[in-house]
Chains A and B, each alone.
Chain A
Amino acid sequence: MSAPLSDPAAPAEIRESASRERREKLWRFLTDWQAMAGLVLVVLFFASAIFAPWLAPYDPNAMDIPARMSGPTWAHIAGTDQLGRDTFSRILHGGRVALYISAIGVSASLSIGLVLGMIAGYGPRWLDNLMLLMFDAVRSFPAVILALATVALTGPSLTVVLAIVILTTIPSYGRVARTATLALRHTEFILAERSLGASTPRILFQHIMPNVIGPLLILAAMEVPVVVSIEAGLSFLGIGVLPPQASWGTILNEGYLVIRDAPWMVIAGGIPLILTTLGFTFLGEALRDVFDPRMGRGR
């Protein structure tokens, strides 16, 4: 679609109308408060994670024993933990782990799940059944047990956590993509494409994918916090992020131990998780509205 539009030989009128439709999309996105809120939160998440070393007021692992278990003060705006480490700095650095895991994990499982799901939905019956069997088999393993077993063989590392996260979240994308594809495969426009001689990859990636990706983006946005919490859980069990490295999961888990004496740790550790979830959800929904020309704003 973009090829003919960028053609310099295109008459001004056509180029004008093409850029009009892009402008309108952008405008629709920019004037939606949810989209903007989502965008701001997500940008905040990315920025704070990337620039954590410069933004953090303290070294996340530096211990300040006299100030341990301090509540929120001007020196430590989110308080300190049992070892006197600055929670705010740890949150910023923990965001790096969250970003790393969620960005790679979600995009990888989204792409793989999307392709497998479309193949299952569009391909022959036996292939569909085989794929479903695989999805169900993977899903029937609890992520933590699978991770424990793998770590027993390989030793703890962030890469293993990542691989497990990807593997266990593929089926949810795959199933959504499959169901959406199945509903589309007998529609007239797909039949029309076939009658024009379009190849199967062309039908899948040009015509089915734009119509099934919307729900997947929302799923992906909602999966980010799930991925972050899987990481947290695995880190808690000592097979993910190893102490003393900071992650939101480890902050929450450590805070949980002292929740009666220092509730701010859990609160401070939970806020970024909530904001990130909200941000990705808003952004996911706004993106869907823009991607889907049938939906206007104001819903």
Chain B
Amino acid sequence: MTKDILLNIEGLSLDFRTNRGRVKALRDISFPVQKGRILGIVGESGSGKSTVLWSILGLLAGNAEVTAGRVDYGARDLLTLDAQALRAIRGEEISVVFQDPMTSQIPVLPYARQMSDILYRRSMSEADKRKAAIDMLRRVGIPDPDSRIDAYPHQFSGGMRQRAGIAMSMLTGPNLLLADEPTTALDVTMEAQMIGLMRGLRDDFDTTIVVVSHNLGLIAEMCDDVVVMYAGEVVETGEVHEIFHNARHPYTRALLECDPARIAEVSRKLPVIPGDIPDLTRPLPGCIFADRCQKAMPDCAKVAPPMVARGGGMARCHLLEGPLADASWPPPADVVTVGRDLGGLAPVKARSDAPPLLEVHDLNVRFRTMGPLKARLNGVSDPFVDAVLDVSLDVKPGETLALVGESGSGKTTLGRTILNLQGASGGTVRFDGRDIAGMAEGQFKPLRRDMTMMFQDPVGSLSPRKSVRALITEPLVIHGAQGRDLDTEAERLADMVRLPRSFLSRYPHELSGGQARRVGVARALALNPRLIVADEPTAGLDVSVQGEILNLMADLQAEHGLSYLIITHNLPVVRHIADRIAIMYLGRIVEDGPAAKVFARPAHPYTRALVEGVPQPDPDRRRPPTAVIEGEVPSLLRRPKGCDFAARCPLAQDACHAAKPRHTHIAPDHRHACLFPLRTPSDLTETA
């Protein structure tokens, strides 16, 4: 382990000037970045983790103002460099991998041009530049780079684009690579590939990497050192094992405990950190975390906590040193320190003998790819893609079915088709015994009282010019709730989702993700529905908040006997909330069954890849690179003839490429579509 310090941030404080006053976005940030190591900055939204990253290169918004501190890079303080000196460092010595490769690459230039432009300072011939670019593309795993280098960004898939983005940032051979949420826009299987790629590049090129993420799994799997930030302050730093196994700050501890992937036992109730990030226009004089901390003492809010060093790291907490020190802190790893609301009603057991509330049988949804005339002229006999292919599933009253798949799996399309927002091209959807597929809107409207949908984007699914009051009473107005007092109803619904009543006059843009999600839940519940289709209910929410929403949904289910169809890619969460899960790949269900069984003994190799593909928030459980599944979800336009997964499947045989496997039952409630299902001894005894 080298102890050379490449970059040292010392006492960095930064304000944003806004209409609300000066937001003290960073306060006294100090940490070193050691040469040749990967440092992860982890924190929730509003913690200032990206601001730290951008301040290193002076890429901050115009209303930012550094009030104190230094960023030492070698002998130079990057904060005092003039624009020209900074430009010489940017890209050349310190380069950046962005979160969204779609918006950070130039859409109208091919990669060859973009990459040779990056080398503009080098006195190399164009041919040499091209060769260097090709070599780098090959290194990051772009197949056939000699010809792909002439492609444009839109011709690459999401994962390939991010690989190309990494190749671009590595092209100049930088000393330091800054990565801002590099996998957030990617699917689970791609995320695992990126982690392996970036670790490999570090080893090959001896590059130091600083990665910013909210994803504890990514941090644990990728990083050597970790900086934990909360509300603009560094609360703890340390070596990755120390942070994940022996966290000393109550916030770090709480954050780790809230991660559903770290909770071994299946529980409907997830832990949460109550409260919200404090208002940064008026930071507290004491500990910034005091008002949400379970261990808070009266002095915590008044006296600034001491900085307590250990090993190469430090933590900032009264419990560790000084008059308030508590020898029993931190408690052993198995003691839960965060609030875990175990109240509420016991979860209802879905009655397995009840007739299903929602029954989907052989549902197909096709989209036209070109007009009929154009198809005729081009000789295309079937100008359609199948977004949803022969899907059958059912949801019983009071049951939670999770529909899991990566992007492009058709899960959202399926959800919208069930709610008749999208036409079906074949098959039936029965709700409460009535066939509702393709019903005319006039006929369907009464049914919308019984089945509602929660959309993916908590804020974007709320009409922006309407107050919360108007939004949550909207369903009542639409469905003509005569004689009901809308104000009383608004209050009732706000209470139900534990939203303070004063929020009723706010507008969507004034809400945090969690609050906006509560409004979405309240709106979905306004008419006492029986089925809620929830599209990524935890998308855009922080770990400490997602528990609140899921607990709320569980309580409401217990109280009202709701059925949920939850559409998600978040497997760690699914394990806790779903009764049954259905795995979708390229529009087909490849496996479905009780959640516990599917997690414990996946039958389909894709299911196993998904289950294992989630980076574990535990540095001792890092996967070997070989466990990562190769390739990407193919385009729907090029659906394989045989098993859709065959091209990526490590166990594929010739038969897999010949025909689509049929659905087979391995237990009455457990189905899969695989010719060579994974088997375990317990499996055999069960089916025997």
Contacts and interface: CB of A to CB of B under 8 A. Distances in A.
Contacts of B19: 296-298
Contacts of B419: 195
B436 to A, nearest CB: 13
A206 B465 CA distance: 9
Task: State the main secondary structure of chain A at its contact with B.
Answer: helix
Nearest to A192: B461
Q: Looking at B444, B487, B490, B504, which has the most chain A CB atoms within 10 Å of its CB?
A: B487
B258 interface: no
Given A10-B487, A14-B501, A188-B457, A198 B474 contact: yes
Interface stretch (B104-112, B259-267, B448-456): B448-456
Interface of B: 19, 416, 419, 421, 444-445, 448-449, 452-453, 455-457, 460-467, 469-470, 473-475, 478-479, 485-488, 490-491, 501-502, 504-505, 507, 509-510, 520, 523
What 8 A-B pairs come out closest when comparing CB atoms? Answer: A197-B448, A210-B465, A4-B486, A17-B505, A188-B461, A296-B19, A195-B453, A293-B507
Interface residues on A, range: 35 or more
Given A13-B502, A17-B505, A188-B457, A195 B474 contact: no
A195 B448 contact: yes
Contact of A11 (B462, B491, B505, B510): B491
Contacts of B523: 192, 196
Given A9-B485, A9-B487, A202-B478, A192 B505 contact: no
A181 to B, nearest CB: 14
Contacts of B490: 4, 14
Given A187-B460, A189-B455, A195-B421, 18 more contacts: A4-B469, A4-B473, A4-B485, A14-B491, A14-B504, A20-B505, A188-B461, A189-B464, A192-B461, A193-B463, A193-B474, A196-B475, A196-B478, A198-B474, A198-B478, A293-B509, A294-B464, A294-B509
A195 B420 CA distance: 8
Task: State the main secondary structure of chain B at its contact with A.
Answer: helix
A267 interface: no
27 contacts: A1-B470, A3-B486, A4-B485, A7-B486, A9-B487, A9-B488, A14-B505, A17-B504, A17-B505, A21-B467, A21-B505, A188-B455, A188-B460, A189-B460, A191-B421, A192-B453, A194-B421, A195-B453, A196-B474, A196-B478, A197-B448, A199-B478, A206-B463, A207-B466, A293-B509, A294-B464, A294-B509
A196 B461 CA distance: 12
A298 B18 CA distance: 9
A187 to B, nearest CB: 7
Interface in A247-299: 291-294, 296-298
Q: Looking at A13, A14, A193, A297, which has the most chain B CB atoms within 10 Å of its CB?
A: A14
Contacts of A211: 464-465
Contacts of B465: 207, 210-211, 291-293
Contacts of A183: none
B478 A197 contact: yes
Given A1-B466, A4-B469, A11-B487, A191 B455 contact: yes
Contacts of A47: none
Interface string A14-35: 1001101100000000000000
B485 to A, nearest CB: 6
Contacts of B504: 14, 17
A109 B465 CA distance: 24
A252 B456 CA distance: 58
Contacts of B464: 189, 211, 293-294
Contacts of B457: 188
B355 to A, nearest CB: 25
B478 A207 contact: no
Nearest to A9: B485
Interface string A86-101: 0000000000000000
Contact of A188 (B456, B491, B507, B509): B456
Contacts of B462: 189, 192
A196 B507 contact: no
A173 B474 CA distance: 29
Nearest to B502: A17
A40 to B, nearest CB: 24
A4 B478 contact: no
A210 B465 CA distance: 7
Nearest to B454: A192
Nearest to A293: B507
Contacts of A14: 469, 487, 490-491, 501, 504-505
A195 B456 CA distance: 13
Nearest to A297: B19
A13 B455 CA distance: 30
Interface in A202-219: 202, 206-207, 210-211
A4 B460 contact: no
B452 A195 contact: yes
B159 to A, nearest CB: 25
Contacts of A292: 465
A207 B469 CA distance: 15
Nearest to B441: A197
A187 B461 CA distance: 8
Nearest to B489: A4
A34 to B, nearest CB: 16
A7 B453 contact: no
A188 B461 CA distance: 5
Nearest to A291: B465
A112 B416 CA distance: 34
Nearest to A298: B19
Contacts of A199: 478
Contacts of B460: 187-189
B455 A197 contact: no
A251 B2 CA distance: 84
A251 to B, nearest CB: 42
Q: Looking at A4, A11, A292, A294, which has the most chain B CB atoms within 10 Å of its CB?
A: A4
A194 B490 CA distance: 21
Nearest to B486: A4
Nearest to A10: B487
B174 to A, nearest CB: 37
A249 B457 CA distance: 53
Nearest to A213: B465
A277 to B, nearest CB: 28
A294 B510 CA distance: 8
Contacts of A195: 419, 421, 448, 452-453, 455
Given A11-B487, A14-B491, A189 B463 contact: yes
B445 to A, nearest CB: 5
Contacts of A191: 416, 421, 455, 461
Q: Looking at A7, A193, A195, which has the most chain B CB atoms within 10 Å of its CB?
A: A195
Interface in A54-91: none
A291 to B, nearest CB: 8
A196 B452 contact: yes
Contacts of B416: 191
A11 to B, nearest CB: 7
Q: Looking at B464, B475, B520, which has the most chain A CB atoms within 10 Å of its CB?
A: B464
